[in-house]
Amino acid sequence: MLYERHYVWSVLLRIYHWAFALSIVVLTVTGLYIHFPWTNTMLEGSTSFPVATMRYIHFLAAFVFTGAVIIRLYLLIFGNRQERFWDFLPVTPRNLRNLLHTNLHYIYLRRHHEVRPGHNALAGTVYIVTLAAAVFQGLSGFYLLYPESATWQSLQVIFGSQMEARFLHYLGVWYFMFYALVHVYMCAWNDVVSKEGLISSIFSGYKYLRNRP
């Protein structure tokens, strides 16, 4: 079978992916520590100050995360063909068909999937939901971070009291943990079944697509 090499992910998208993924790992670990400081909190008041250190790392990672989200929002409109929302959201007949075929392929009712350079419509929809969850997580995070700022506190209509916002922010973490688990599994599964070099594409930018006869 002949394969063609296609350049699909720009440098900016790959920077976004790894900044987003790695900052989420840091934010999850430090966030869960803030939620439940699992080392002995008797350490507080001694020379070490673990919750404050974890909060500091959380906020550093939060700014990397925010930068990544802004990059992706920009690429949704100004990215290359594969990166624009139009290419993967199920809002066109082509993508709706792809959504159906991808689902059938994933439950082993359809042997072949449509060869396309970008995301399939199912993955693309999940990525947009994840981006929306990231915006929500970031806004609730800044709402918690700046209780003295009138601008940020105008979001009270959405997040409620600081306590309620903290709870919503905490619930968001479970979405990201579940997402990461399924995402890495699906990428590995696709890499094995479709042999397009999917995982390496998020490092190199290149995918290998079967030539249509």
Sole window of 39-47, 95-103, 152-160, 196-204 interacting with ligand HEM (rule: CB under 6 A): 196-204
Of 177, 141, 176, 175, which is closest to residue 158 (Cα–Cα)?
Answer: 141
Q: In 10 A of CB 207, how many CB atoms?
A: 24
Q: Does 123 bind ligand HEM (CB under 6 A)?
A: yes
Binding mask 65-104 for ligand HEM (x = CB under 6 A): xx-----x--------------------------------
List the one residue from 12, 60, 64, 187 that touches ligand HEM (CB under 6 A): 187
Binding mask 163-182 for ligand HEM (x = CB under 6 A): ---x--xx--x--x--xx--
Interatomic CA distance for residues 165 and 163, integer angstroms: 5
Q: Does 199 bind ligand HEM (CB under 6 A)?
A: yes
Interatomic CA distance for residues 36 and 28, integer angstroms: 12
Whether residue 132 contacts residue 114, with contact meaning beta carbons closer than 8 Å, is answered with: no
Whether residue 115 contacts residue 84, with contact meaning beta carbons closer than 8 Å, is answered with: no
Residue 196 Cβ vs ligand HEM, minimum distance, rounded to whole Å: 9
In degrees and rounded to multiples of 5, residue 132 shows phi and psi of -65, -40
Whether residue 204 contacts residue 17, with contact meaning beta carbons closer than 8 Å, is answered with: no
What does the DSSP 8-state code read for residue 206? E
Binding mask 38-57 for ligand HEM (x = CB under 6 A): -----------------x--
Interatomic CA distance for residues 19 and 13, integer angstroms: 10
Instruction: List interacting residues with ligand HEM (CB under 6 A).
Output: 13, 17, 20-21, 24, 27-28, 31-32, 34-35, 55, 58, 62, 65-66, 72, 119, 123, 127, 130, 137-138, 141-142, 144-145, 166, 169-170, 173, 176, 179-180, 183-184, 187, 198-199, 201-202
